[in-house]
Every structure is written in C-alpha cells, then in structure tokens.
Chains A and B, each alone.
Chain A
Amino acid sequence: MPQSKTQPTGPSTLLKTLETEMERNWSAFKKLPTPPFYLAYEITEHESANVSGSFGTLVSSSSNDKTRYLDIDLRVGSPTLDNYHPVRGSMFNMLDNFNPVTIPIEDDPAAIRAAIWYQTDQRYKRSIEQWIAVQTNVKVKAENTDKAGDFSSGPAESFVEPVVKLTGFDRKVWEEKVRRYTKPFRRFGNVYQAEARLNISIETRIFVNSEGSRIQTSQPYYRLGITGFAKADDGMELPKAEYWHSSTMEGLPTDEVVLAKVDQIAKDLMKLKLAPVMDPYSGPAILSPRATGVFFHEIFGHRIEGQRTKNEDDGQTLKDKVGQKILPEFLNVYSDPTLKKYGSSELAGFYRFDNQGIKARRVTVVEKGVFKNYLMSRTPIDGFPASNGHGRRQAGYNVEARQSNLIVEATETITREELKKKLIEEVTKAKLPYGLFFDDVQGGFTMTGRQGPSAFTVIPVMTYRIYPDGREELVRGVDLIGTPLTTFGKITAAANDPSAFNGICGATSGGVPVSAGGPSLLVSQVEIQKKPKSQERSPILPPPFDDPNIGTWREFIFGGNL
C-alpha cells in the first residue's frame, strides 16, 4: 500500500501567499530611509509521525503532527557589508542566530499573511539595530582578514515540486512493530535500555526571495532506529545502535532484517560486557566504511565548510591549503547533495535547493589528494565569491555552509582481506603486539576554533585488536583521537568496499540530515585514549521478574540453547 501521495503539480497556496506578501513588503520597503537590499522568506513544514517502544511495550505514539516555521532573511547595508556581518567582541551573537517563528499550519492566506507581516516588521527593526552595530564594530575592531564581503548574489530560480502528504501510515501496525522489535531484549536483565523508534517526517520547503526565486520542494524522511544499552561490570556504559534511512516506507527494512539486527545488537552488547578494556595505544588501524564516514565528516567535513573561515576565531585549518596536497593521491572527496543513493544506501543529505535558494550541485573538494574547493553558502570568502549550494539550516536558525553527502572515493583499492594483510605487515614491521580495526562507531566531534586545540575525537563502539596471526579480539573503552592534518597524511591504503551511513549533524545552523561514505581505510598510525567511564555500579537487586533466561546470556552469545 502506498504510504505517501503527492498533490497535483503546481504552486501551492502557501507559495502563492508568500509571493504576494513578498511583493507587497518589498515594494513598501523601497520607500523607507534604510531599505533592505535583499529579502527572503522560507517556510518549512514538517508533517510527522513518531512511534517508539521499549522492551516489548509502547512508550510513545503520535501521527499527523504538523509544524510550520517561518524564516526571514532580511539584509540591509550592501553585499559588501551587511547586518549579518559578525559583530566581534559580542558575547551573545548566538541569540540572533536562532529565532524560531511558528505560523499557521493551514493554507489560509489571510492568516499566513498576517503572521508574515507581523514577523517581517519585527525582523526589519532588528536588522536596522544589527546594521548600526555592525557599522561601528568594523570601525572599532581590527581589520577583517577576509575581504570577500558578506553576501553573494544568486540566480532567480523557479522550481515547483508536488507536495508529498503522509497518507496511509498505519500507526497501529507500527505500534505493534516497535513492541515486537524490542521484545527480544526482555530476556536480558542486564540490558538496561532498549528502544525501537520510527520517525517519519515530510519536509516541505517553500522559498521566495527578492531576486525572483520561487521554489517548492517536498522530501520525505523515514528513519528507524534500534538502540540498546548495557553496562560492563566495571561500570562502563555500552551503547549499541543501528539506524535505517529511506525516502519511502517501502525502503525500510523488513521485520526479518530488523529482528536479525536486534539479535546482533543483543549479542554485541553481551560480548562487549566480556571484552577487555584497551590501554592507550598508538599504531596502525583499519577504519571500516562507517568509521571512515564519521571520521571524514567530523575531522575533514567541518573544516571545508567555507563560512566558518570567515570567523576570525576559526582555526582555518585549510585556509592556505587550496591547491595543495592534503590527502594521499589515491583519494578524491566530493560533496554531492544531488546524490540520492550510494551503493544500496539511500542518502539523507539529498536536496534539490539549499536554504538560500541556490541549486544543489556536486562539489569536488579534493581531487587526487589536492584540496580544491570549500562548501559554500551565499556568504563569500576570499577566493570563493559564490555559493555552491551548501547553505543549510534547521528551521529557525541562520544559514551556514554545511555538508550534504560527503563521499570519499579511492582510485586505487585492494580487497578487505588484503587491507588486513597490510595492517599485519605494519604491525610486524613496528614490532607491535597488534593493530586495530574500528568496525562500528557511535559518532564523534571536533573543535575547529582557535581557542582550543584543533583536535578530534571519534567514539568507536566495536573495536577489534588484530594480532599478527590474523586473530581478532573485541575490546572496549577506547576513543580515537588526533589532529586532522597529521592524521590525513597517514592514510596509506583503501579497500574496495565503499558504503555510506546517514545521520543528523548538529552544528551552528542546527541539525541537518547528512550522509557520509567511503571505503575501509588503512591508517599507518592512530592514537587512542581511554574513554570516560561511568562510576555507577550495576543494580543492587537482580531484575524483579522470574525469567528463566536471566543469567544465560553467556550461552546466548556463545551458541547456547536459547
């Protein structure tokens, strides 16, 4: 049964209403003493459904939830210097960066126009205040290093996509599914949290601006996640999760696939409980494709977001590296928001237009190891005067240059087995007892500012020691750390096993869906440190219910009779 349908092609009532109010306000603004030079309206509508379950029971359930946010970009001054220019030395710049405004969720032109009018008036008054502050700030502070101005022009785009509606979603069916997906965890008294969560969100964005753009896009996101959480006897917290993303309900996995993964998560949690704790280590390691994706998204991806370098406090790691080799020659990196699929995976970072009305396009970031391009919003930086369609935001935030689908591509590859052999060679050569294989990672973070070290942390979940004889041993309690440029230089080989993962990236312009992908990589030297450990001991009393399976989890993972 189809789970979503589209309304007839053509501009929606909402788009026509936005155009009407844009036209009225823009012509009225021209008569004011300080007229804006640019005005854009973006309405972001989310129609969503969410169902979650835990240990075989329903925890929450909702459907037909609808929200609409209005974002207004109103610029006074000139493209060279405008009210969005960062005010240096101000502690509360972030207050202007987040301004969520809700508007009616029905297509009632009078009600929507009233809301737009009211908010535009507020926004214009605030823009004038910002503009006065900016003009003084640039005079009293040191000269900006970046001379590229504050805003780049864009073409007038016209694109109208049918609005997708969530129909046919059977909440009762999914309430049963989340119960079924989490019921297997009940047999473990030592799994303390287990959740299955379905999030459906249809994001419809309507954009108009004073340059004549009128854009309507509608994109469904279906996301199913299974998470489990246990603790080792020493108190270490052990999370394990699996997520699926699709643009259709049919693209989500079957019950058999999900239940097999639930079984695997439970097994992994029990194995992790028994796994030895790693000591700090420095030596060669293999990153799985998933680890490669997180590694590049966090360590590399945030440093190629061009708008960051405008900030005088940014570390600007790659600022002087354009045209220089920063990765091995066999690696290319590109960001492609027009990519819907990578291998068998649908990509969450797909979009047709960014949040500034600029058409999405593929950007070659690194070619044969040489750094070529930043990801650009309409905020220009020296050497990159125009947007390349990467101005993104969560509704309510100001736009920043952000990642979309970041893909690492290797032009020379070997098999996974050969990569393992190479790792063992490096281990033997360095006379180390073992190398490492980072199979699954939970996430990571990086600091790009100058106030702290330009370092990164990737948080592995499943890490294996690989011994010279090829044996693999699961370990726990490690974080992968390092500094970007040094680590990039130590990538020595890639496997022919590329794949991608999806997630929500949270940064200065809010949470946006992203994807990252690539092959397994061999890094000649990584550094790991012990991860922070919870000091909370396991429960004093055993679980309250008399489950005959409690206490038999060792058999469960080692082939017992469960």
Chain B
Amino acid sequence: MRRRSFISIPAVAAVIPTSLPAALPDDTLLKAMRDELKRSLKKLQLENLEKPYFLSYRIVETQTTGASASFGALSSSTDFRRRILATDCRVGSYEMDNTNFYSARSAMSGVIRVQANFGLTLPLDDDYDEIRRQLWLSTDAGYKQALDDLAKKRAALENRTRTGAAIADLSKEEKTETVENESPSLLTKTKSETLAKQLSALFRDAKGIDNSGVRIDSTNVLTRFVSSEGTEFWRNAPSIMLNWYAEAQAADGMPITDVESHYFNSANEIPVLEDLTKKIRAFQKRLLDLSAAKTLTRYAGPVIFEGQAAAELFAQGFATALLGTPRIVVDDQRFEGIFGANTGVFSDKISTRVLPSHMRLTDDPTRPNLAGTYKVDEDGVKTKPTIVVQGGILKRLLNTRSLVPGVTDSTGNRRGAGLAPSNLILESSKAVPAAQLKQDLLQIVKDRNLEFGVMIRKIANPADQFAKPRGRMVIFTGGSAGQALQLSPVIEAVKVFPDGREELLRNIEISGFNTSAFRDLSGVSQETITYTAQFRNPRMSPLMGGMIMQGRVLATYIVPALLFEDVTLQLPAGEVPKLPFIAHPSFA
C-alpha cells in the first residue's frame, strides 16, 4: 500500500483498502511466460553457440483514462489499454554478458525484427497460445541479438586491457516472489472529462492569463515478471496525475509560465472541487502577481531554497548525481566519449565529502505511504533502505543489477525505464527553525553589505514542462560555466531585505550552479517538505537492458530548506516576444 503525497499537504494519507493475495495469481499470462521460459532454457541453442544463462519476461499492461480541457472545453479524451512484452535474454555469464555494450552496427533482430528488450505489443486477450507465440518470437529475437552482441563485445575487448577491477555485468540476487496488489481505484473517462472541464473553466475569468489548461491522467500499470532465476512478481501500480498550466506575459513581454502537478494513488485521494478551486485561484493569483513583479538583472549572494524549490533543486542538482550507471563497452572508439562520460557525476566521489558533515541521505523504498515505495524493483530485487551519504561522506551510488565499481549488489533502484531513486530523505543533525535560517541569510546579507538576499520558492520541474502544449518561446539560457548544471527556470522568488520585507521577483534563472555547491551548504531548516515529482534521468542510457516505457516514475523527496552562501541568479538572455497585437476575445 502506498500513498503519493500531495504537494504542500501534510502527509496524512487516506488509507486505501487493499487485498494482497498470499501467492501469485493463477494467471494465463504468467503460465505462458513460465512455460515458454522453461522451453527456451531447455532447448534454445543455435548450433554450437552458447545457450542463454539468464532469461526474463516482463509484460507491462497499461490501462489509461484521461482528459484535458482548456477554458472550460474538452481538448482531448483518452481511454486505452495495451500490453507490451520485453524480453531480456543474456548469453555469457554474470561476469561478462552481452549487455553494457553498444555497437553502432547493431540492428533489430529476429524474424519480426524487434529490439526484444524494448518491447513487443501483445494481444489484450488472455489467449495462452497466442501469448506463447509472441514470447517465442521475442525470445528468438532477443537470443540472436544477444549472441551477436556478445561476439562483438568480446571482439571489441580482444585487443584492449580493461583497467581497474572487473565489474560483473549482472549481480547475483536473492530469488523473490512478490505480489503488490493495490486494487486500482482510478477515475473513469467521464469523471476525468467533467473534472478537467470544471477546473479549466476557472480560467475563463482570469484576465491576464493568455493560455491555460488542465489535464488528468489515471493510469494503472500491471506488471508481470518471470525470470530464469525463479524470481516472479505481479504488481498493480495505480497513479493519477492532475496538473494545470497557465501562461501570461509581463509588460516587457517576458513569458510567465507555470505548471502545478499533483499525484495521487487513488481517486479517493483527490481533493474535493472546492479545495481544488482554491488551489487554482491561488495559482492564478501567483501567476498574475508574477507578471507584475520586478526583474533582477544579476545577483550573487546568499539564497535560501525553500519548500518545492528546495526539493526540486535537490532533485535536479543532486539526486541525478547519485545514479551509478555502468561503463559501456563500445566497438567503435568514436562513441567512447559519449558513453565513457555516462557513468554518473559521483562515480569517482565515493568516500569523499559531498554534503556537510552533519548531513545524511537515505534512499528508502520501504518507507510506507510515499510515491517511491515498492517491495521489489523492476528486476525483482527486494528493496531495502540504502544510506547514500553518512556524515556528509558519499557511501555508495544507487544502481540496478548492472553494477558499478566497488559494489556487488543492486540497491533495488531499477524503476520504469531505467535507474531512478525511490524516496530520498535528506536529514541534518544541525537543522535550525526556518525563521532562524532566514535570519542566517540576512546576517550574510549584512556581513557582505548587500542590499538584499533572495529566497526561491518554486523551480520548474522538467517533466512538467511536457504537461503543457507548446506555447510562447521560453526565454531560458541555462547555466553558464563549463560544468554548470542545466537547472530549470525559477518560477517564484523574493528579495528579502534586512528588515524582513519581501519583494516578488520574476524571470530568474540560476547560473553556474553545480553539484559540489551542496558540499558547502550553509544551513538547513528543521521543517521539511515531502515533495513528489516525476523523475527524469538526464543521463538516461539507451543501453539499460529490458527497458520499456511503463508509465511515469515518481520519486519522493523529503528535504529541508537549503541555504547557500553563494548563488548567482540572472535575467535570462535572449529575445523577448512582443505583447499580443490583438486583445484576448474574452477580455477585450
């Protein structure tokens, strides 16, 4: 049972009744998977070449209903169900197999020419014979591709000496049998349509907002997994996303856009219309206030990231650095630069200080009632808390069964299309009340003889940017310095003057910020936010075996407000679109 917490709402969750079967269900698809897996392991061999040493099938069944609306009218409505099969067939051994390898000369394989680990559409009917036919063809494609890749990988390594200790391609993990059976309670298409229309109609009287919309998407992902190691799982993963976006323009033409996303585990968790209306009204007011706010040409000095901004900065600026991606063997040196740099920002930082010594960071998929809570990961690896940073020192990276230097096991972080954190909890033994943190900021302002300090309260989420249709050109130049992170634009910030007065700011971007800035954090608050957002891995490798699209990957961040002594903020560079030539028809 999990709860996807609602942004800015205390984590008091409605408990959803669930039924957890004691054993894996009697299921036609699971039977077909087991039977074809058994046959393949016993008989699949091409001439005198190697047999598979590992084989797994994953069938991802997605049921989605959704609607989007704008200005009170429906824009789209969805209701579909699909099944995708991904086959992971490995030849060689745990120590070295066909994976973690890229060949520019690889193509799709098998009679039906598929990339077996990317997925094959399956029938919606529980037809044993037909499911087995597709498993047969997918296994055949995966096996042939695996043989081809392993031969190429061995050839590529023939004339090279691998430096460092040997790293296994697949970790050995305990066999698991798991059922995660939340009874999905999703919104129907009609209810989604009604709610999207009702909420989007609230923008009909929002003069000054040029473009807006509301989207609701209810998805249940049912995953069936069977592997040759005996690991099996059957999991329902329901998720409802509700978001709204709006766009305005400041008097100088600068676009002001914002998206607000909320995630729920069940339809019962969605707030009542009255509460949602209040949220949208607050959202509108903020956007209109922002469009009338002042800009900041350039600022260098202390900044507090609080609330959503702290969590989002942590997600974009730190969490992505924790992902341990294996080094990829390539058969063409020209690709070495691309994949050699793909091993993660912190790959060489183990045992070094990455946070202040009073801080600890834990990835905990076992913590109940959060969006990143699950019993086993997509490899079927049983989850456990992983202490990533202790006393400010980086202890280990998050990884899947594809290993990275220094570890021999998975942290159970294979999620969705690849590697992702679950619930990241950032804690400090020296946290201070938020009011004190603000005083600390003002003390630095005073010490440096600055006119003001800055507090940032909202940063755009990269995945949310896809929630809105293409609008006006977004002025965003991103980080400037060589190793700087490409952080999303700041949505909401304020100047804080020594007398405590605040003044709203708009159109700010964070310049030249990089992950090492967290090491020198000047302070953190006792108060934390529990923030849920879609996780996007900027270094997603196309080579993670068995990856297929299977819904959004949500991660939860429990993060305090963060005070940095030196952050550079600037007005985005670039051309600004002119104001509309003709007035909005509803507000003319």
A-side interface residues toward B, CB under 8 Å?
A: 21, 24-25, 28-29, 32, 53-62, 64-67, 102-106, 108, 110-115, 117-118, 120-122, 124-125, 179, 186, 192-193, 229, 231, 534, 536-541, 543-545
With CB as the reference atom, state the residue of chain B lying closest to A229. B112
Q: Is the interface of B mostly helix, strand, loop or mixed?
A: mixed
| Nearest CB in chain A: distance from B491 CB, A | 21
**Residues A541 and B71 in contact in the complex (CB < 8 Å), given A21-B585, A56-B127:** no
7 A-B pairs with CB atoms under 8 Å apart are A62-B80, A105-B73, A106-B73, A110-B71, A110-B585, A121-B581, A540-B140
B-side interface residues toward A, CB under 8 Å?
A: 35-36, 39-40, 43-46, 69-77, 79-80, 82, 109-113, 121-125, 127, 129-130, 132-133, 135-137, 140, 143-144, 204, 210-211, 469, 472, 577-578, 580-582, 584-586
Q: Is the CB of B140 within 8 A of A541?
A: yes
With CB as the reference atom, state the residue of chain A lying closest to B122. A59
Partner of A193 from B80, B82, B112, B472 at Cβ < 8 Å = B112
Q: Is the interface of A mostly helix, strand, loop or mixed?
A: mixed
Q: Which residues of A contact B577 (CB under 8 A)?
A: 125
User: Within the assembled complex, what's the spacing in Å between the Cα atoms of A29 and B582?
Assistant: 8
Q: Is the CB of A102 within 8 A of B469?
A: yes
Q: Which residues of A contact B79 (CB under 8 A)?
A: 62
Partner of A115 from B70, B137, B140 at Cβ < 8 Å = B70
Q: Is the CB of B130 within 8 A of A57?
A: yes
Q: Which residues of B contact A110 (CB under 8 A)?
A: 71-73, 204, 585-586
With CB as the reference atom, state the residue of chain B lying closest to A108. B73
Q: Is the CB of B74 within 8 A of A104?
A: yes
User: Within the assembled complex, what's the spacing in Å between the Cα atoms of A105 and B70?
Assistant: 10
**Residues A60 and B124 in contact in the complex (CB < 8 Å), given A113-B585, A536-B113, A544-B136:** yes
Q: Which residues of B contact A112 (CB under 8 A)?
A: 73
Q: Which residues of A contact B143 (CB under 8 A)?
A: 540
Partner of A536 from B69, B71, B111, B122 at Cβ < 8 Å = B111
Q: Is the CB of A122 within 8 A of B472?
A: yes
Known: A54-B123, A56-B130, A193-B112. 15 other contacts (CB 8 A): A57-B124, A59-B124, A60-B124, A62-B79, A104-B71, A104-B73, A114-B585, A124-B581, A125-B577, A229-B112, A536-B144, A540-B144, A541-B140, A544-B35, A545-B129
Q: Which residues of A contact B36 (CB under 8 A)?
A: 544
User: Within the assembled complex, what's the spacing in Å between the Cα atoms of A456 and B210?
Assistant: 49
Q: Is the CB of B124 within 8 A of A61?
A: yes
With CB as the reference atom, state the residue of chain A lying closest to B211. A118
Q: Is the CB of A59 within 8 A of B123?
A: yes
Q: Which residues of A contact B584 (CB under 8 A)?
A: 114, 117
Q: Which residues of B contact A541 (CB under 8 A)?
A: 39-40, 43-44, 136, 140
| Nearest CB in chain B: distance from A58 CB, A | 5
Q: Is the CB of A117 within 8 A of B129?
A: no
Q: Which residues of A contact B121 (CB under 8 A)?
A: 59-60
| Nearest CB in chain B: distance from A177 CB, A | 14
With CB as the reference atom, state the residue of chain A lying closest to B247. A118
| Nearest CB in chain A: distance from B72 CB, A | 6
With CB as the reference atom, state the residue of chain A lying closest to B111. A192
Q: Is the CB of A114 within 8 A of B80?
A: no
**Residues A539 and B77 in contact in the complex (CB < 8 Å), given A61-B124, A113-B585, A121-B580:** no
Q: Is the CB of B581 within 8 A of A32?
A: yes
Q: Which residues of B contact A102 (CB under 8 A)?
A: 75-76, 469
**Residues A539 and B72 in contact in the complex (CB < 8 Å), given A62-B79, A66-B77, A534-B113:** no
User: Within the assembled complex, what's the spacing in Å between the Cα atoms of A335 and B260?
Assistant: 52
Q: Which residues of A contact B73 (CB under 8 A)?
A: 104-106, 108, 110-112
User: Within the assembled complex, what's the spacing in Å between the Cα atoms of A354 and B503?
Assistant: 56
Q: Is the CB of B82 within 8 A of A60?
A: yes
User: Within the assembled complex, what's the spacing in Å between the Cα atoms of A56 and B137?
Assistant: 17
Q: Which residues of A contact B130 (CB under 8 A)?
A: 54-57, 186
**Residues A543 and B585 in contact in the complex (CB < 8 Å), given A58-B124, A105-B75, A110-B71:** no
Q: Which residues of A contact B45 (CB under 8 A)?
A: 540
| Nearest CB in chain B: distance from A199 CB, A | 15
* Most chain A beta-carbon neighbours within 10 Å: one of B135, B472, B585: B585
Q: Which residues of B contact A29 (CB under 8 A)?
A: 581-582
Q: Is the CB of A114 within 8 A of B70?
A: yes
User: Within the assembled complex, what's the spacing in Å between the Cα atoms of A58 and B116?
Assistant: 21
With CB as the reference atom, state the residue of chain A lying closest to B189. A64
| Nearest CB in chain A: distance from B75 CB, A | 5
Q: Which residues of B contact A21 (CB under 8 A)?
A: 585
| Nearest CB in chain B: distance from A117 CB, A | 5
| Nearest CB in chain A: distance from B198 CB, A | 13
Q: Is the CB of A536 within 8 A of B578?
A: no
With CB as the reference atom, state the residue of chain B lying closest to A21. B585
Q: Is the CB of B582 within 8 A of A543?
A: no
Partner of B210 from A106, A118, A534 at Cβ < 8 Å = A118
User: Within the assembled complex, what's the spacing in Å between the Cα atoms of A545 and B134?
Assistant: 11
Q: Which residues of A contact B578 (CB under 8 A)?
A: 125
| Nearest CB in chain B: distance from A92 CB, A | 16
Q: Which residues of A contact B122 (CB under 8 A)?
A: 59
User: Within the assembled complex, what's the spacing in Å between the Cα atoms of A21 and B584?
Assistant: 11
Q: Is the CB of B585 within 8 A of A117?
A: yes
User: Within the assembled complex, what's the spacing in Å between the Cα atoms of A57 and B36?
Assistant: 19
**Residues A28 and B35 in contact in the complex (CB < 8 Å), given A114-B70, A545-B133:** no
**Residues A55 and B124 in contact in the complex (CB < 8 Å), given A66-B77, A104-B74, A541-B43:** no
Q: Is the CB of B75 within 8 A of A544?
A: no
| Nearest CB in chain A: distance from B464 CB, A | 19
Q: Is the CB of B74 within 8 A of A539?
A: no
Q: Which residues of A contact B70 (CB under 8 A)?
A: 104, 111, 114-115
| Nearest CB in chain A: distance from B137 CB, A | 6
User: Within the assembled complex, what's the spacing in Å between the Cα atoms of A110 and B71?
Assistant: 8
Q: Is the CB of A544 within 8 A of B135?
A: yes
User: Within the assembled complex, what's the spacing in Å between the Cα atoms of A172 and B137?
Assistant: 29
User: Within the assembled complex, what's the spacing in Å between the Cα atoms of A11 and B460?
Assistant: 44
With CB as the reference atom, state the residue of chain A lying closest to B585. A113
User: Within the assembled complex, what's the spacing in Å between the Cα atoms of A292 and B222?
Assistant: 49
User: Within the assembled complex, what's the spacing in Å between the Cα atoms of A64 and B189?
Assistant: 12
User: Within the assembled complex, what's the spacing in Å between the Cα atoms of A277 and B137?
Assistant: 26
With CB as the reference atom, state the residue of chain A lying closest to B578. A125
Q: Is the CB of A192 within 8 A of B75?
A: no
Q: Which residues of B contact A56 (CB under 8 A)?
A: 127, 130
User: Within the assembled complex, what's the spacing in Å between the Cα atoms of A24 and B582?
Assistant: 9
Partner of A545 from B82, B132, B585 at Cβ < 8 Å = B132
Q: Which residues of A contact B40 (CB under 8 A)?
A: 541
User: Within the assembled complex, what's the spacing in Å between the Cα atoms of A111 and B69?
Assistant: 9
Q: Which residues of A contact B136 (CB under 8 A)?
A: 539, 541, 543-544
Q: Which residues of A contact B80 (CB under 8 A)?
A: 60, 62
With CB as the reference atom, state the residue of chain B lying closest to A117. B585
Query: 8 tightest CB-CB pairs across the interface, nearest first?
Result: A57-B123, A111-B73, A104-B73, A108-B73, A111-B71, A57-B125, A113-B585, A106-B73
Q: Is the CB of A106 within 8 A of B110?
A: no
**Residues A103 and B72 in contact in the complex (CB < 8 Å), given A110-B204, A540-B143, A544-B133:** no
User: Within the assembled complex, what's the spacing in Å between the Cα atoms of A186 and B76?
Assistant: 37
**Residues A25 and B582 in contact in the complex (CB < 8 Å), given A55-B133, A67-B76, A544-B136:** yes
Partner of B129 from A25, A104, A186, A193 at Cβ < 8 Å = A186
Q: Which residues of A contact B82 (CB under 8 A)?
A: 60
User: Within the assembled complex, what's the spacing in Å between the Cα atoms of A536 and B36?
Assistant: 21
Q: Is the CB of B133 within 8 A of A28?
A: no
User: Within the assembled complex, what's the spacing in Å between the Cα atoms of A538 and B144?
Assistant: 11
| Nearest CB in chain B: distance from A553 CB, A | 16
With CB as the reference atom, state the residue of chain A lying closest to B212. A114
Q: Which residues of B contact A538 (CB under 8 A)?
A: 111
Partner of A231 from B39, B111, B586 at Cβ < 8 Å = B111
User: Within the assembled complex, what's the spacing in Å between the Cα atoms of A21 and B583?
Assistant: 12
Q: Which residues of A contact B472 (CB under 8 A)?
A: 122
With CB as the reference atom, state the residue of chain B lying closest to A235. B111
Partner of B71 from A67, A114, A545 at Cβ < 8 Å = A114
Q: Which residues of B contact A28 (CB under 8 A)?
A: 581-582
User: Within the assembled complex, what's the spacing in Å between the Cα atoms of A124 and B578?
Assistant: 11
Q: Is the CB of A106 within 8 A of B74?
A: yes
